[in-house]
């Protein structure tokens, strides 16, 4: 999943981005509301982590503008304020959840994953496509109860496809949401990794729709 982190504290942003990156998320950062606003309007993200105290205006103001413009990305608010009125202002502006500073990176990760699951229509932390299971908490995959060993990149690719299922996912969407912008895949990398996933999961479980993209399906016909 591709996350935008809007936080002006460089040390905090770098530490949180590193922790989320270690957990398999693709994280891009912005140091101001204006920079974050530009990225949100020009790039595609799965969720936003937004600090309330930004140098160019309250994060609440930026969030209100995004919601007014119809931008419905899940937003997790970071706030150093503990007053309920401040939290209520965040929810009223359109925030989906909040974390109060100081926080543990693990809490941010769990809340973020829950927001993204719900945005894709998944309430449970374990995604299911027939006998295929993907545990979003630990990144483990099983097929008919049997553990499947995947590389980190294969796991991220499969996780995104399963979050989106049964929707078709285009190659460009996979490139944007699964791979870091500074390490965009070569033209055949996605094809190679899809091929490897098929060898491990069964060739019929990931369907290619020519000219449209890929889709994970429930248990295919034998």
- At 184, the pLDDT band (50, 70, 90 cuts) reads low
pLDDT tens readout for residues 118-147: 877 776 778 888 899 998 877 889 999 999
Query: Is 221 contained in some domain?
Result: no
Structure token digits, residue 112: 């973020």
Are 26 and 103 part of one and the same domain?
yes
Query: Is 222 contained in some domain?
Result: no
User: CA 26, CA 174: separation in Å to the nearest integer?
Assistant: 12
Q: Which helix (H) or strand (E) holds 88?
A: helix 84-93
- At 176, the pLDDT band (50, 70, 90 cuts) reads confident
Are 87 and 41 part of one and the same domain?
yes
Contact 112, 76 (CB under 8 A): yes
Note the pLDDT of residue 54. 92
Regarding pTM above 0.85, the answer is no
Domain boundary among 103, 119, 135: 119
Are 9 and 107 part of one and the same domain?
yes
Are 7 and 114 part of one and the same domain?
yes
Structure token digits, residue 4: 């935008």
């Amino acid at each position: 999943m591709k996350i935008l982190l809007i936080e002006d504290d460089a040390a905090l942003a770098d530490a949180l981005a590193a922790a989320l990156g270690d957990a398999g998320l693709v994280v891009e950062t912005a140091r101001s509301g204006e920079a974050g606003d530009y990225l949100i309007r020009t790039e595609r993200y799965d969720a936003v982590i937004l600090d309330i105290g930004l140098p160019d205006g309250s994060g609440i103001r930026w969030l209100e503008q995004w919601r007014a413009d119809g931008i419905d990305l899940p937003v997790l608010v970071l706030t150093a304020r503990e007053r309920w009125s401040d939290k209520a202002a965040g929810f009223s502006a359109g925030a989906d959840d909040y974390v109060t500073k100081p926080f543990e990176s693990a809490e941010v990760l769990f809340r973020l994953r829950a927001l993204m699951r719900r945005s894709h229509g998944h309430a449970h932390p374990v995604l299911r496509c027939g006998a295929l299971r993907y545990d979003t908490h630990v990144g483990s995959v099983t097929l008919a109860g049997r553990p499947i060993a995947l590389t980190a990149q294969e796991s991220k690719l499969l996780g995104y496809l399963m979050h989106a299922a049964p929707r078709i996912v285009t190659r460009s969407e996979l490139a944007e949401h699964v791979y870091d912008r500074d390490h965009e895949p070569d033209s055949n990398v996605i094809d190679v990794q899809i091929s490897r996933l098929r060898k491990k999961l069964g060739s019929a479980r990931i369907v290619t729709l020519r000219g449209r993209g890929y889709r994970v399906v429930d248990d295919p016909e034998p």
